[in-house]
């Protein structure tokens, strides 16, 4: 693809994998994340045209401060991928108000804050947006209430944005990863009583017999933002190794 691609959560995990793939496909990638050092490392894999911006996308004031100047520097995006994500482990009654709001701010509200700037910039020429949802958008995990709530909302938001985008040529879709081996997932395993058993269980849960990689998700994103998906909007693509296709036995 050609053009400008904004990717949030681009310093590691799925976001980094997506940024690297889109750069390899010809995009000028704009990498957003909190960690300046890791963003620079990721940008080094995205070619000399890559741009980085280090700020917290969950901080609406920071978004409002950074995005206008960034858009002036890069021009309007042709593609936006919302990959910033966080998992706060705990049942609903166990979560503090701070934990609950932080989870929703990162996974859901950041999409609103960013699109108040990115969407108007895309309207004149159209483009493609991909939200990173989850298998947890369809089925819940125990001790993961805030994450499940946020990812269910992301999937619903995808459909609403697709309807609003259709008249102006903006396609909006979601990818729904299963167990993808990232620092975020490793943190989830570490929070379990037996991290090694949790990791082994995740690998065995998918019929394909392994956890996925960020590159697996990036391949689905690359399709959704490509001309091959020109008639695809308002839908989701599971990237879960068949996890949700199997009835638990």
Among 6, 147, 188, 223, the active-site one is 147
How far CA 184 is from CA of 23, 214, 246, in Å, comes to 23, 12, 25
Q: Both tokens of residue 105?
A: 């701010």
For tokens 């400008």, name the residue. 4
CA 39 to chain centre: 16
How far CA 3 is from CA of 54, 69, 206, in Å, comes to 21, 18, 35
Q: How far apart are CA 56 and CA 4, in angstroms?
A: 21
Q: Give which of 104, 189, 185 is closest to 146, Cα–Cα.
A: 104
Q: Both tokens of residue 100?
A: 């609950």
Instruction: Based on the residue annotation, tell me whether 147 is a catalytic residue of this protein.
Output: yes
Ramachandran bin of 3, using left for φ above 0, alpha for ψ from -120 to 50, beta for the remaining angles = left
Q: Which helix (H) or strand (E) holds 214?
A: helix 214-224
Q: Both tokens of residue 14?
A: 């799925």
Sign of CA dihedral 196, 239, 132, 101: negative
First to last CA, the chain: 43
Q: Both tokens of residue 156?
A: 């619903």
Q: Which helix (H) or strand (E) holds 102?
A: helix 97-104
Active-site residues: which are they?
Answer: 147
């Amino acid at each position: 693809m050609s053009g400008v691609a904004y990717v949030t959560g681009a310093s590691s995990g799925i976001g980094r994998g997506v940024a690297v793939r889109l750069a390899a496909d010809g995009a000028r990638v704009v990498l957003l994340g909190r960690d300046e050092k890791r963003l620079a490392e990721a940008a080094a894999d995205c070619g000399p045209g890559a741009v980085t911006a280090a700020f917290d996308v969950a901080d609406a004031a920071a978004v409002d401060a950074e995005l206008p100047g960034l858009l002036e520097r890069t021009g309007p995006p042709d593609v936006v991928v919302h990959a910033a994500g966080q998992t706060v482990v705990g049942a609903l009654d166990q979560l503090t108000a701070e934990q609950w709001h932080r989870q929703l701010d990162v996974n859901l509200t950041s999409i609103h804050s960013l699109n108040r700037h990115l969407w108007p910039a895309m309207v004149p020429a159209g483009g493609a947006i991909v939200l990173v949802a989850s298998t947890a958008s369809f089925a819940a995990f125990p001790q993961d209430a805030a994450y499940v709530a946020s990812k269910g909302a992301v999937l619903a938001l995808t459909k609403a944005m697709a309807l609003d985008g259709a008249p102006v040529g903006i396609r909006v879709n979601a990818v729904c990863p299963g167990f993808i081996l990232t620092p975020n997932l490793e943190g989830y395993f570490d929070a379990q009583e037996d991290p090694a058993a949790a990791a082994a269980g995740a690998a065995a849960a998918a019929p394909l017999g392994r956890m996925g990689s960020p590159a697996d998700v990036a391949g689905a994103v690359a399709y959704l933002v490509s001309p091959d998906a020109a008639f695809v909007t308002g839908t989701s693509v599971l990237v879960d190794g068949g996890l949700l296709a199997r009835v638990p036995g």
